[in-house]
Amino acid sequence: MELYIDTANIDDIRQAAELGILDGVTTNPSLIAKEGVDFHNRMAEICEVVTGPVSAEVVSLEHDAMIAEANELLQIANNIVIKLPSTVEGLKACKTLSDRGVKVNMTLCFQPLQAMLVAKAGAFLVSPFIGRVDDTGADGMDLIQQIRTVYDNFGFQTKVLAASIRHPMHLVQCALVGADVVTVPYKVIKQMMHHPLTDKGLAAFLADWEKQKATV
């Protein structure tokens, strides 16, 4: 399972990259706005740190405007992936771009039929939002499972990118149902390597080592 970081904070991206396990980055207009930086400049910075796919989202809502915006974003770096909404216009733009060989991430996916259509349009990634589905009282992991089953049934090559992940258990569940990619905040990446029994065991080993040294 590939691991992306979901942020526009360049320090978090650098720290995640230094771990040696980071496969890509996702961002969105809200994350960029939170940083208070120029969108294109920050995307260029990110692409210098991470060699894997970096999703850059358009803000246009109509096909021609999406394509024009995508063309500008593609000039930033070779690893830019164009992020489009899972709408009718986004679907058409996905087909236009994918026919050109451009990698597209179809975001804001909330049901398996959206996922099936974007796969037919050649999407590189589809991003179902687990946490936001959970917020409605439904089970976001069911959506991941449904998309996985549809893709496997018909041989679609689009990767399932589980987004809106809130905690490590989401990651465990995603791995078990076969999500291809997960994208998470840096705090969740750090939580992946933490367990109280690991800390307790290490403390005991070190204490015993100190006792052994004292007897030599």
Sign of CA dihedral 16, 106, 108, 167: negative
Number of domains, the chain: 1
Q: What is the CATH number of the domain that holds 96?
A: 3.20.20.70
| pLDDT mean over 56-83 | 97
Known catalytic residues are 83
Place 216 in a pLDDT band, splitting at 50, 70 and 90: low
Residue 215 has pLDDT above 80, yes or no: no
pLDDT of 169 reads: 92
Cβ(32)–Cβ(210) below 8 Å = no
Q: What is the pLDDT of residues 93-123, one digit of tens each?
A: 999 999 999 999 999 999 999 999 999 999 9
Alpha-carbon gap, residue 201 to 95, rounded angstroms:
53
pLDDT in tens, 7-33: 999 999 999 999 999 999 999 888 999
CA dist 187 and 1 (Å) reads 18
Confirm if 128 and 147 have CB atoms less than 8 A apart: yes
CA dihedral 140, 32, 188, 53 (to 10 degrees): 80
- pTM of the complete model: 0.92
Task: Identify the domain containing residue 146 by its residue range.
Answer: 2-215
